[in-house]
């Protein structure tokens, strides 16, 4: 199977084309997987009660706050009617990783990690959002990024 | 809270059982060498109790307390907002306080100052070495993550 990447100003958004001589089961499976990844949405409610559908790619972080689970996007915080572990399973692709007992983040939105002199590990997302990582999850983040990098090269 | 209690109970039970097995092995081996009547408890400890049997039960329970202390203290490492140097210090203070207290009672360690100091110093040194190794590893991992994240931009 060939995977081609083409960049051209004629494309206004990302397009994924699956090309083959016939509509085989493999093609159906690939298309199904792509729909699973890109069509995933979750319903969230903002602070004033407005509902909104959130796409997977928009999610920066999901964390538990008391009994609630909050999904953070570039434009706000939304309460979702799911447990964090359920959300983690649903989002369970290469893009998301658990950084502590109470939070998962989109690995592609990480800007940097910072180790303080006392050993606190602060994570800064590309949007400026800051949070903390537990020590044992640092190596998992590294492994995931390394794996993605190697797969990207292959 | 349920998870904490479960973890504490399991580690208490496992440590007590492990302590029981170790004591049993020592007693069997030493009884074969030194003759019957050997018990793996300090005589000064045994006299603190009305009978040897009660002393032995308490001994086993104290092993359980040590195990539960180590296991429950490890929860401090799950509080992300506390730096791991502080976490390690808290862990060291809690575990060493409990262990020192129990070893003083069980082995009457305070009567042997050099053994007491070397035991505590050994534990402290091990802890510091582990902390330094962990800090360096974390620093290297974070550097690698930051490089990879920068490449993604």
How do strand A68-73 and strand A96-100 relate by DSSP bridges? unpaired
Residue B132 at interface with chain A, using a CB cutoff of 8 Å: no
Distance from CA of A107 to the nearest CA of B (A): 9
Residue B152 confidence (pLDDT): 67
Residue B82 confidence (pLDDT): 87
| Token duo for residue B25 | 């092995």
Distance CA B24, CA A118 (A): 44
Taking the C-alpha atoms of B40, B43, B47 and B49 in order, what is their torsion angle to the nearest 10 degrees? -10
Could you tell me what percent of chain A has a pLDDT over 90? 29
Distance from CA of A117 to the nearest CA of B (A): 8
CA atoms within 13 A on the CB side of A56: 19
Q: Which of B138, B148, B149 sits opposite A135 (nearest CB)?
A: B138
Distance CA B117, CA B55 (A): 26
**Which sign, positive or negative, has the C-alpha torsion B102, B106, B112, B115?**
negative
Across the range A36-46, mean pLDDT stands at 80
Please indicate whether, in this complex, the C-beta atoms of B145 and A141 are within 8 angstroms of each other.
yes
pLDDT category at A53 given cuts 50, 70, 90 is confident
Residue B100 sits in which domain range? Answer: 2-152
pLDDT category at B64 given cuts 50, 70, 90 is very high
pLDDT at B74 over 80: yes
Whole-angstrom distance between the N-terminal and C-terminal Cα of chain B? 42
Write out pLDDT tens, residues A102-148: 999 998 889 999 988 888 999 999 999 999 999 889 999 998 888 87
**Structural domain total, chain B:** 1
* H-run or E-run covering B24: helix B2-34
**Residues of chain A contacting B138 with CB distance shorter than 8 Å:** 115, 119, 121, 135, 138
Q: Which of B139, B141, B152 sits opposite A139 (nearest CB)?
A: B141
pLDDT at B87 over 80: yes
| Token duo for residue A94 | 């290469």
Q: What is the pTM of this model?
A: 0.70
**Residues of chain A contacting B150 with CB distance shorter than 8 Å:** 112
Mutation target among A61, A135, A149 for the B interface, most CBs of B within 10 A: A135
Residue B153 confidence (pLDDT): 63
Distance from CA of A39 to the nearest CA of B (A): 24
Number of other CB atoms surrounding residue A18 within 10 Å? 12
Residue B146 at interface with chain A, using a CB cutoff of 8 Å: yes
How does the average pLDDT of chain A come out, rounded? 86
Please indicate whether, in this complex, the C-beta atoms of A132 and B80 are within 8 angstroms of each other.
yes
Residue A93 confidence (pLDDT): 66
All domains in chain A, ordered by first residue: 25-153 (2.40.50.1020)
Distance CA B7, CA B134 (A): 25
Q: What is the DSSP code (8-state) at residue B77?
A: G
Residue B149 at interface with chain A, using a CB cutoff of 8 Å: yes
pLDDT category at A30 given cuts 50, 70, 90 is confident
């Amino acid at each position: 199977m060939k995977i081609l990447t083409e960049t051209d100003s004629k494309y206004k958004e990302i397009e994924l084309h699956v090309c083959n001589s016939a509509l085989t089961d493999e093609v159906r499976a690939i298309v199904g997987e792509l729909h699973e990844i890109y069509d995933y949405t979750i319903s969230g409610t903002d602070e004033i009660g407005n509902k909104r559908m959130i796409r997977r790619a928009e999610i920066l972080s999901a964390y538990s706050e008391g009994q609630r689970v909050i999904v953070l996007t570039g434009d706000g915080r939304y309460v979702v009617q799911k447990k964090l572990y359920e959300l983690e399973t649903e989002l369970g692709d290469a893009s998301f990783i658990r950084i502590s007992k109470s939070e998962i983040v989109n690995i592609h939105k990480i800007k940097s990690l910072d180790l303080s002199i006392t050993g606190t590990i602060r994570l800064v997302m590309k949007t400026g959002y800051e949070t903390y990582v537990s020590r044992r999850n640092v190596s998992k983040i590294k492994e995931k990024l390394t794996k993605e990098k190697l797969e990207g090269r292959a | 809270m349920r998870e904490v209690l479960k973890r504490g109970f399991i580690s208490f039970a496992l440590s007590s059982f492990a302590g029981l097995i170790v004591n049993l092995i020592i007693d069997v081996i030493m009884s074969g060498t030194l003759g019957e009547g050997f018990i793996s408890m300090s005589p000064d400890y045994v006299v603190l109790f009305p009978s040897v049997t009660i002393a032995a039960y308490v001994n086993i329970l104290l092993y359980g307390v040590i195990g539960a202390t180590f296991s429950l203290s490890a929860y401090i490492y799950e509080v992300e907002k506390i730096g791991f140097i502080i976490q390690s210090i808290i862990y060291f203070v809690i575990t060493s306080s409990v262990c020192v207290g129990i070893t003083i009672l069980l082995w009457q360690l305070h009567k042997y100052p050099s053994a007491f100091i070397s035991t505590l110093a050994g534990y402290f040194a091990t802890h510091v070495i582990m902390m330094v190794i962990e800090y360096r590893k974390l620093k290297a991992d974070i550097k690698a993550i930051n490089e990879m994240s920068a490449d993604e931009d």
